[in-house]
Amino acid sequence: MLRITRRNFTVLAAAALLTRHASGQGSAASSPITRAIPSTGERIPVVGLGTASVFDSDDERTRLAAAAVIQALVGAGGRVIDTASSYGDAEVVVGDAVAAAGLRDKVFVATKLEVPDAAELKRSLARLKVAKVDLLQLHNVRDARQSLAQFMAWKGQGLCRYIGITSTFHGDFAAIEGVLGREKPDFVQIDYSLDDREAEKRILPLAAEVKAGVLTALPFGRGRLFRAVSGKEIPDWAKEFADSWAQFFLKYLLADERVTAVIPGTSSAAHMADNLGAMRGRLPDPDQRKRMVDFIGNL
């Protein structure tokens, strides 16, 4: 039997998956899981696309990959694309791909600024080819006293629909907690994976308290999780909710309803289709989540 892993998940299988979703075959295919953004109730699909380190070069190969990945995302019912002004040329690549395909109304575009600077925002909007973004985030917050007043002003001016803060460093969680509790942004984006669960204890409870949506960056633990299961089959008890290791890892996160969306990065349309499978079908129950933690912890 072929072992379903990220390494051997083929483009042919991805194409079949997308065709099935597009045609609405089966109840799971027609019902992607969505979550409400707490501050407004607007619902978004729970699996999106991260662009860090995958679309940072403005060359033909990257552009072709981005176009295919974004088409795969939208074709299977996904919407969220997360990028940043500091991700090389990712904003340019994403902006051109979305505009060329006429998909602006089909996607939820999130970007990040390193500082609350009007010139940086203007540059990001131009690179993304948009008049406004759906979510504007202050990237890598390190100061618990950080004000989001400028971001709130931009939101009031219609330059973004939501504002947020981000960090993928545990050393900055105290700063994230301070800003999240005081400023109450619409979103917080944090590093959260099956083998790195500090956010469960510190960030997710506070996000729920202040009604902030949660985006989870690096849901595969910077590749650690795939390396840990290399050469292994998905356990039989997990096959009722996951068809691949990617879905196993993503569904662990999505089973926590405080998570609004996961945003794994990929430059592969096949991997994008695999990831999107996590927003269909059932999610693991609490006992299965505990079993998932034990399984990975014992590898």
292: CATH? 3.20.20.100
Looking at the annotation, which residues are catalytic? 87
User: Confidence class of residue 34 from pLDDT cuts 50, 70 and 90?
Assistant: very high
The region of weakest confidence among 10-24, 45-59, 208-222 is: 10-24
Q: Name 135's bridge partners.
A: 110, 162
Which residue range forms the structural domain that includes residue 142? 11-17+44-297
Whether 149 is in a domain gets the answer yes
Tokens 């219609």 correspond to 158
Whether 35 is in a domain gets the answer no
Query: How far apart are the C-alpha atoms of 197 and 268, rounded to whole Å?
Result: 27
Average pLDDT value over all residues in the chain: 92
Whether 92 is in a domain gets the answer yes
The pTM of the whole model exceeds 0.85: yes
Whether 278 is in a domain gets the answer yes
Q: What is the pLDDT of residue 30?
A: 53
Whether 264 is in a domain gets the answer yes
Number of domains into which the chain is organized: 1
User: Confidence class of residue 25 from pLDDT cuts 50, 70 and 90?
Assistant: very low
Whether 276 is in a domain gets the answer yes
Write the DSSP symbol of residue 191.
E
The region of weakest confidence among 30-39, 178-187, 232-241, 267-276 is: 30-39
Whether 32 is in a domain gets the answer no
Q: Are 227 and 259 in contact (CB under 8 A)?
A: no
Q: What is the pLDDT of residue 29?
A: 53
